[in-house]
């Protein structure tokens, strides 16, 4: 485990594990022990990443419209590349937050996934094209 060498973090980790046993569908890393336990009003690294991520999200939304509205081919291509790179950058922020335990995911109940798969598989009767 990543932060076994940090004893001051044990309590937090145990708390996290208890949470995980309560909700077995949760997918998350233990929080890295670099944030103060009781957070004050000052911005911390997690806030910084969240802020960076929301800036990136805003820019991808806006660039998407600019791509759609671009007149000539070169402008369209350049804006599209910027949009793609900004998506990649957002993804890196997300991954970093996930690694630090600042992003929790929740797996859906398998039964509901199966149900949806069944439902949408049945719609194949409506397919106009032959099945590949």
Partner 1 sequence: MQTNQVPIPEPPQAITTKDLMYLKDAMSWELLAFKKLHFLAEHATNQDVKQALDQAGQMHQKHYQKLLSHLQVNNNTVLSSLQNAQQQQQQMH
Report the interface residues with partner 1, using CB under 8 A.
Answer: 32, 34, 43, 45, 48-49, 51-52, 55-56, 58-59, 62-63, 65-66, 69-75, 78-79, 82, 85-86, 89, 92-93, 96, 100
Closest CB to partner 1 among residues 2, 115 = 2
Of residues 13, 2, 1, 12, the one with CA closest to residue 37: 12
Closest CB to partner 1 among residues 16, 86 = 86
**Distance of closest approach, residue 97 Cβ to partner 1, in angstroms:** 9
Give whole-number Cα distances, 1 to 25, 56, 62, 76, in Å.
Answer: 20, 31, 40, 46
Closest CB to partner 1 among residues 20, 94 = 94
């Amino acid at each position: 485990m990543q932060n076994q060498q940090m004893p001051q973090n044990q309590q937090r980790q145990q708390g996290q594990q208890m949470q995980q046993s309560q909700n077995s569908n949760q997918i998350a890393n233990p929080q890295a022990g670099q944030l103060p336990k009781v957070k004050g009003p000052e911005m911390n690294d997690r806030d910084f990443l969240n802020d960076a991520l929301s800036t990136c999200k805003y820019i991808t939304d806006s660039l998407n419209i600019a791509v759609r509205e671009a007149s000539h081919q070169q402008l369209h291509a350049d804006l599209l590349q910027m949009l793609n790179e900004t998506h990649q950058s957002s993804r890196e922020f997300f991954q970093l937050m996930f690694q630090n335990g600042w992003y929790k995911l929740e797996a859906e109940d398998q039964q509901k996934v199966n149900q949806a798969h069944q439902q949408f598989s049945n719609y194949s009767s409506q397919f106009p094209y032959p099945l590949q």
